[in-house]
């Protein structure tokens, strides 16, 4: 296989200790590798396009299918493709493509500039970018080599041989040890655990740290030793490769028997804010808080939502005093003496439930608690004692319900692929305990469409019961008429719990006869073995048995708000940000939670939007896209789970919370934070700083380049648009790269107009960004005005001031002298202008205070006082030689003119004396208006008038002729 399609498989890991038959560690597991790329059809034996066929332990048969190798490659380049592909990637950027076209045009004869002007900066940018790409690709190559060369035990003949992952072939049998990483997609065959179970961790795939159980087919349990595994032959028919991490459809054909495969046998792999609720606003730490059993409500605690509602209504709630029976542990925060410590036995008279040859004493409370202890997919971990055991669950809700059952006396402590063992207390007599093993015949999984989970279990006495838990909407429509007595009362309790902000589930059961179950189970097995529309067929079969249910009661779980959520939402609202919370809760629950987190208050006009679709992910994505595209506003979506990915990707900015629901939201987002309250810092501090820095950098780049270019533009008026350049090529090349680069980089990285604390104290500052105050056309026009004004100053001041200037050789300033002065002034000015953006406030404050001027006078004097005394003492008592000479000749040449210095013994050579005399000659103003050439100085003409010898220049002849012709014409 190539790693591009299934690279994430590498990171799945066999984790923890086996939680079956004591706490024994699983040492060895055999697996069958499954293909991991799209199969190319072979000529000898074409395969159906909807599925693929893999031959177990038969490399010759698999060779026909031409499966990909197991080597992965995440690099973007190789030695041959690096330069062409790297340049292609660079020139896909519009800016680089633009400068490439300019560089090409500069090589043509019509270009007034040298190619160096444009080629050098572009080459420098491309060189740095390619070096960065090469370094990153080299690191990817090293990581690929490390993964590809990881060793794994592969069955060769009747022996295990170690070989690198890259040499693994489809159909090989491999052995993965404790805490080892999976080399590919694997089919679970056998384990050292006698019940064919192993536990895996997929944290590096989806962030889930919970251990997940994987069960091998009973038919393959014996293929453990290498000499036995070598005899394993079979055929796998499964779906084509796809990007679904949690689903798998396939069958294992062994000894002419077709066995359905499932993921249990496969070991894989901002103006508007839209927010999920669970895990985003709340902690996603579920605690069993209240319940309703047989029409009676239990639980005396007060939720945060209830406290907030009472506060808004002006009511004062007394602190709820905890009873002696109250228990608070992870997943359980319940207080009601009527249920704790076996007291539930006294709530209802035992109902005698007669089953053939058996008499059971059963009450509604017992049914409800047993449903919590059995209807789940939780894995127990650790010591088999109530105090030390921990539960690994797919969701925190399930763990909370099992924990509640434990505290009510039904302690689930062991699971095998087919049984659940519960230690039941106080069932028959107070203080008694007994371990009961329940056979789990079928598990009907929970999904977003079904909104319920069911199990079919067999009691030790042979009794068949279906337990079901799920949303009230789906449970109530499947109830039998026998539940009419408690249906209305339980509905009232559900509304009360929902108003308190609690998450509710309904519990129900159904007695099954053996004949009814056997007929239904045949249909279930057929649906489970189907390669087409397996999920749909399983749902249809589940509908057959999940009806005529008897309502037991309901549970209520509290998911408390995260710390700082109300304050964060209130602050964001003051900043002008509109916050939408998208949730699948009941209307009453959603409204009360909105009040609790300060999303709404009594002064607001409330509009309730309800989606007709049950798919919350689809609704979230549609609402986000509606505001983004319809209202044309900048949107931000924040969530913590895989179900929030579509909403996160639909917004302009996606933020993922690294919570308890994995890393899929984080991986799909632009930014990742730990809690919702950090959104204040992300937006009001870093977001605002980033916006202001970006606006400053863009407008400043526009200003400084317009200033530089306009100076050249004014020069063209003096040269008749001849194409003569004003600046040297290197000046144009290095203006942005070196001379003005560092200040703008510093501003772009570190500029802060106000501190972080002030940004959060005055969230209204963020409104300027929403209105785009710093990047409007008015702002651009102001920068453009200063650019025009300053470019005029640079050009005309320097050219005018240099008309009478001359260099050390006596020549007037030429073109490059004047342009260099103008360039220097431009560089200094634009850098100072950027500095003014950041220190102007400080300067203004200082200049407006009297103390500034006082300290400006006093501090330098006081500071230099010690230096004054030191220099005086040194000069008077410990003078240097040059200081003695200064004292001897002090004032000796005062009043002597510069011309008289020639008469003093200054030891000038004849050439130096002549050059100095020429410098004193009067100058004639040049009549030339352009700078394409230097104007003559007429030195020899004026020298002869002053009696100073100077060589005759060619232009003297022309000048004398012109003077003579003028005098003649005047006569």
Q: Is 167 annotated to bind ligand? A: no
Phi, psi of 653 (to 5 degrees): -125, 130
Q: Is 58 annotated to bind ligand? A: no
The long-range contacts involving 474-481, CB below 8 angstroms and separated by at least 24 positions, are 474/450, 475/506, 475/508, 475/549, 475/551, 476/506, 476/551, 478/508, 478/546, 478/547, 478/548, 478/549, 479/508, 479/548, 479/549, 479/550, 479/551, 480/547, 480/548, 480/549, 480/550
Q: Is 276 annotated to bind ligand? A: yes
Catalytic residue among 172, 276, 472, 817: 276
Where helices occur in 848-880 by DSSP H, the ranges are 850-877
Token reading at 105: 């045009």
Sign of the C-alpha dihedral computed for residues 221, 222, 223 and 224 taken in this order: positive
Looking at residue 606, what DSSP letter applies? P
Looking at residue 70, what DSSP letter applies? S
List the Cα angle 577/578/580 in 5-degree steps: 140
Q: Is 214 annotated to bind ligand? A: no
Helix (H, G, I), strand (E, B) or coil at 125: helix
Of 144, 171, 156, give the one whose Cα is nearest residue 71. 144
Phi, psi of 488 (to 5 degrees): -65, -45
Looking at residue 922, what DSSP letter applies? -
Q: Is 643 annotated to bind ligand? A: yes
Other Cβ atoms less than 10 A from the Cβ of 736: the count is: 15
C-alpha span between 567 and 679 (Å, rounded): 11
Of 262, 140, 143, 280, give the one whose Cα is nearest residue 213. 262
Contacts of 791 (CB under 8 A, 6+ apart): 706, 707, 708, 709, 710, 711, 713, 714, 826
Q: Tell me the HSE value of 400 on the side-chain side, using a 13 A CA sphere.
A: 24
Sign of the C-alpha dihedral computed for residues 866, 868, 871 and 874 taken in this order: negative
Task: Tell me which residue has tokens 């294992």.
Answer: 252
Q: Is 640 annotated to bind ligand? A: yes
CB 948 within 8 A of CB 918: yes
For residues 846-856, one letter each, b for 16 or more C-beta atoms within 10 angstroms of the residue's C-beta and e for the rest, the string is eeeeeeeeeee
- What is the CA 751 to chain-centroid distance, rounded? 24
Q: Is 583 annotated to bind ligand? A: yes
For residues 499-528, one letter each, b for 16 or more C-beta atoms within 10 angstroms of the residue's C-beta and e for the rest, the string is bbbbbbbbbbbbebeeeebeebeeebeebb
C-alpha span between 487 and 810 (Å, rounded): 110
Of 288, 498, 267, give the one whose Cα is nearest residue 397. 288
Assign 3-state DSSP to the chain and report helix, strand, coil percentages, each to 5. 45, 20, 35
Strand 452-458, strand 433-444: pairing: antiparallel
Instruction: List, as one string, the DSSP characters of 882-895.
Output: HHHHHHHTTTTTTT
Q: Is 503 annotated to bind ligand? A: yes
Q: Is 719 annotated to bind ligand? A: no
Token reading at 845: 């404050």
**Beta strands of 72-179 (E only): which ranges?**
151-156, 159-164, 173-177
Torsion of CA 454, 459, 463, 466, to 10 degrees: -10
Of 207, 165, 203, give the one whose Cα is nearest residue 36. 165
C-alpha span between 447 and 538 (Å, rounded): 12
| Residues paired with residue 420 on neighbouring β-strands, in sequence order | 415, 438
C-alpha span between 629 and 634 (Å, rounded): 9
Q: Is 308 annotated to bind ligand? A: no
CB 224 within 8 A of CB 234: no
C-alpha span between 759 and 348 (Å, rounded): 60
Of 351, 30, 80, 331, give the one whose Cα is nearest residue 182. 30
Other Cβ atoms less than 10 A from the Cβ of 862: the count is: 10
Q: Is 644 annotated to bind ligand? A: yes
335: annotated active-site residue: no
Strand 635-639, strand 653-657: pairing: parallel
Residue set of the binding site? 276-278, 398, 446, 469, 503, 583-585, 640, 643-644
Active site residues: 276
Known binding site for ATP: residues?
Answer: 276-278, 398, 446, 469, 503, 583-585, 643-644
Pick out the residues of the known binding site for Mg(2+). 276, 278, 640, 644
């Amino acid at each position: 296989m190539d790693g591009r399609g299934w690279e994430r498989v590498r990171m799945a890991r066999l984790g923890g200790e086996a939680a079956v038959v004591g706490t024994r560690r699983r040492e060895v597991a055999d697996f069958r590798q499954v293909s991991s790329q799209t199969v190319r059809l072979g000529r000898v034996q074409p395969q159906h396009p909807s599925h693929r066929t893999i031959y177990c332990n038969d490399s010759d048969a698999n060779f026909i299918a031409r499966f990909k190798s197991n080597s992965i490659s995440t690099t973007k380049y190789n030695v041959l493709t690096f330069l062409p592909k790297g340049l292609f990637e660079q020139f896909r950027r519009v800016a680089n493509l633009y400068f490439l076209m300019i560089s090409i045009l500069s090589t043509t004869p019509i270009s007034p500039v040298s190619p160096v002007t444009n080629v050098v900066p572009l080459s420098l940018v491309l060189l740095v970018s390619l070096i960065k790409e090469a370094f990153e690709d080299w690191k990817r190559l090293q990581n690929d080599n490390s993964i590809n060369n990881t060793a794994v035990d592969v069955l060769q003949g009747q022996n295990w041989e170690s070989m690198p992952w890259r040499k693994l072939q489809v159909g090989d049998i491999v052995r993965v040890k404790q805490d080892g990483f999976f080399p590919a997609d694997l089919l679970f065959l056998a384990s050292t655990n006698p019940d064919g179970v192993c536990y895996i961790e997929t944290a590096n795939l989806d962030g889930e740290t919970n251990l997940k159980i994987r069960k091998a087919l009973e038919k393959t349990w014996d293929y453990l030793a290498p000499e036995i595994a070598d005899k394993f032959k079979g055929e796998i028919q499964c779906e084509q490769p796809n990007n679904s991490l949690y689903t798998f459809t396939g069958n294992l054909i062994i000894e002419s028997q077709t066995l359905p495969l499932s993921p249990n046998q496969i070991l894989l792999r901002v103006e508007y804010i839209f927010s999920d609720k669970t895990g985003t606003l709340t902690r996603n730490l579920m605690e069993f808080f209240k319940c309703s059993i047989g029409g009676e409500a239990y639980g005396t605690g007060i939720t945060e939502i209830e406290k907030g509602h009472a506060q808004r209504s002006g009511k004062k709630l007394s602190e709820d005093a905890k009873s002696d029976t109250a228990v608070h542990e992870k997943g359980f925060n319940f207080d009601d003496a009527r249920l704790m410590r076996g007291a539930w036995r006294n709530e209802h008279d035992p109902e005698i439930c007669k089953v053939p040859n058996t008499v059971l004493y059963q009450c509604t409370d017992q049914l409800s608690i047993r449903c919590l202890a059995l209807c789940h997919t939780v894995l127990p971990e650790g010591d088999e004692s109530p105090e030390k055991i921990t539960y690994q669950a797919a969701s925190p809700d399930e763990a909370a319900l099992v924990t509640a059952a434990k505290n009510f006396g039904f302690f689930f402590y062991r699971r095998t692929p087919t049984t659940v063992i519960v230690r039941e207390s106080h069932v028959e007599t107070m203080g008694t305990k007994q371990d009961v093993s329940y056979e789990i015949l079928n598990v009907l999984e929970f999904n977003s469409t079904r909104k319920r989970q069911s199990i079919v279990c067999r009691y030790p006495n042979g009794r068949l019961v279906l337990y079901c838990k799920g949303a009230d909407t789906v449970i109530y429509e499947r109830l039998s008429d026998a539940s009419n007595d408690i249906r209305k009362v339980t509905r009232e309790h559900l509304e009360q719990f929902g108003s308190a902000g609690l998450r509710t589930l309904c519990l129900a059961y159904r007695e099954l006869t053996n004949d009814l179950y056997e007929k239904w189970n045949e249909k279930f097995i057929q649906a489970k073995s189907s390669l087409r529309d397996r999920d749909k067929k399983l749902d249809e079969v589940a509908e057959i048995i999940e009806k005529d249910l008897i309502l037991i009661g309901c549970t209520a779980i509290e998911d408390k708000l995260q710390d700082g959520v109300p304050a964060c939402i209130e602050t964001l609202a003051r900043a002008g940000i509109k916050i939408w919370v998208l949730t699948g809760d009941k209307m009453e629950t959603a409204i009360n939670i909105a009040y609790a987190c300060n999303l709404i208050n009594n002064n607001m006009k409330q509009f309730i939007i309800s989606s007709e679709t049950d798919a919350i992910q689809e609704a979230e994505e549609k609402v986000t896209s509606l505001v983004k595209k319809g209202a044309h506003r900048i949107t931000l979506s924040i969530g913590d789970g895989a179900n929030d990915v579509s909403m996160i990707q639909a917004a302009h900015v996606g933020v993922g919370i690294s919570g308890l629901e994995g890393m899929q939201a984080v991986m799909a987002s632009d930014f990742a934070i730990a809690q919702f309250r950090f959104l204040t810092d992300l937006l009001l501090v870093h977001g605002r700083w980033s916006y202001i820095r970006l606006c400053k950098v863009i407008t400043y780049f526009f200003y400084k380049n317009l200033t530089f270019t306009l100076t050249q533009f004014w020069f063209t008026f003096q040269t008749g648009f001849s194409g003569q350049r004003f600046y040297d090529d290197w000046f144009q090349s290095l203006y942005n790269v070196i001379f003005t680069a560092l200040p703008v980089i510093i501003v772009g990285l570190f500029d802060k107009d106000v501190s972080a604390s002030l940004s959060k104290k005055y969230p209204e500052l963020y409104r300027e960004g929403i209105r785009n105050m710093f990047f409007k056309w008015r702002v651009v026009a102001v920068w453009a005005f200063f650019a025009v004004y300053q470019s005029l100053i640079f050009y005309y001041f320097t050219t005018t001031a240099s008309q009478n200037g001359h260099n050390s050789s006596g020549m007037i300033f030429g073109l490059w002298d004047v342009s260099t002065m103008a360039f220097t002034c431009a560089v200094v000015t634009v850098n100072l202008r950027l500095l003014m953006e950041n220190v102007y406030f400080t300067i203004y404050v200082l200049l407006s205070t009297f103390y500034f001027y006082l300290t400006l006078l006093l501090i330098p004097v006081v500071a230099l006082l010690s230096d004054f005394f030191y220099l005086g003492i040194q000069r008077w008592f410990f003078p240097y030689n040059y200081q003695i000479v200064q004292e001897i000749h002090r004032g000796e040449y005062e009043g002597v003119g510069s011309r008289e210095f020639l008469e003093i013994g200054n030891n000038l050579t004849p050439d130096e004396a002549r050059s100095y005399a020429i410098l004193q000659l009067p100058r004639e103003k040049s009549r030339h208006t352009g700078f394409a050439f230097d104007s003559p100085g007429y030195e020899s003409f004026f020298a002869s008038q002053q009696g100073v010898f100077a060589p005759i220049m060619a232009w003297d002849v022309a000048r004398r002729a012109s003077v003579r012709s003028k005098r003649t014409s005047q006569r």
